[in-house]
Structure 1
Amino acid sequence: MRRDVYQAIADPTRREIIHLLAHQTLNLNAIADKFDISRPAVSKHIRILTECGLLMITQQGRERYCRADPKKLQEVAEWTEQFKSFWTQRLDALGEFLEGN
């Protein structure tokens, strides 16, 4: 099952896993040690992130290592960029209005 990148980043634990792996490659146990949730729960989050293409898992001996592959986040950045301009204009107009009163 291929998951949607938006579904993956909707969960705060998955966002934290992405943030953690954006700076380093870690094995599954090292990732699980960083969270106060069960190892099966961490594994489920990692599976979802992998299914939507945000994580890559490589096997090295008996260990499985995860690294972030943030290219899919570009899709999110492009989608949110269209709203940035809209809200910047609206907030600037509100600021001008409030300064005028």
Structure 2
Amino acid sequence: MARLAHHVFFVLKDRSPESIESLASACEKYLDGHEGVVDFSVGTREAELNRPVNLDFDVSLHVIFRDRPSHDAYQTVEPHLQFIAEQKDNWETVTVCDSNLR
């Protein structure tokens, strides 16, 4: 089975450094360390890389899963659901990009 990359880009309603840091910390608290995760990172947009091809976002989440079943199970685990419940009111938009890795 192919590994699956789950990339999520968040634009916040409040784009202050404090709100950005709060969301990045919540990603680390709730979304790392799940069964089947082989790589995890969270980051913030590099303002100086303001090219037309760069997506406008505040926080990026990057999770590589061992396989599709691991990804599917992650979608329903309590910490992931709690993260969404606690954070979703802070999001202006969310863009999810899932892909099979070669």
Range of TM-score over shorter length: under 0.3
Choose between structure 1 and 2: higher helix proportion.
1
Answer 1 or 2: which has greater strand percent: 2
Larger radius of gyration: 1
